[in-house]
Amino acid sequence: MEKRFPISHVFGFITSMVLTLVAAWIALKTSLSFTVIMWIIGSLAVIQAGLQLFMFMHVNEGEDKKTQIINIGYGVFCAVVIVVGSVWVLNSGHAGH
């Protein structure tokens, strides 16, 4: 097995850092409305998550693409249930015991 320099990992890391710094700059240095800032940061987060799936988790490698799609779908479902459930509980007064 030949060892080579992981250029895709370096590219993914640098791109992730740039996306994070852009999000921080938009949040701290622009005078956009709160809603616009949140949409931009959320969009950058989704882009960064996709980038990390391909660069670090090697989603595009392997033979069984159907299993990978099912696993990604299940991960997204779990994340949505956790976030939506947390927001629901915190906004409906269930946390005020």
Residues 13 and 52 in one domain: yes
Residues 36 and 1 in one domain: yes
Residues 12 and 57 in one domain: yes
DSSP type of residue 33: -
Residues 68 and 35 in one domain: no
Helices (H), the chain: 7-29, 34-55, 65-91
Q: Report how many domains make up the chain.
A: 2
Residues 8 and 55 in one domain: yes
**pLDDT tens digits, one per residue of 33-91:** 999 999 999 999 999 988 888 887 777 776 777 888 888 889 889 999 999 999 888 88
Residues 7 and 44 in one domain: yes
Q: Which residue range forms the structural domain that includes residue 45?
A: 1-61
Residues 1 and 41 in one domain: yes
Residues 3 and 27 in one domain: yes
pTM: 0.69
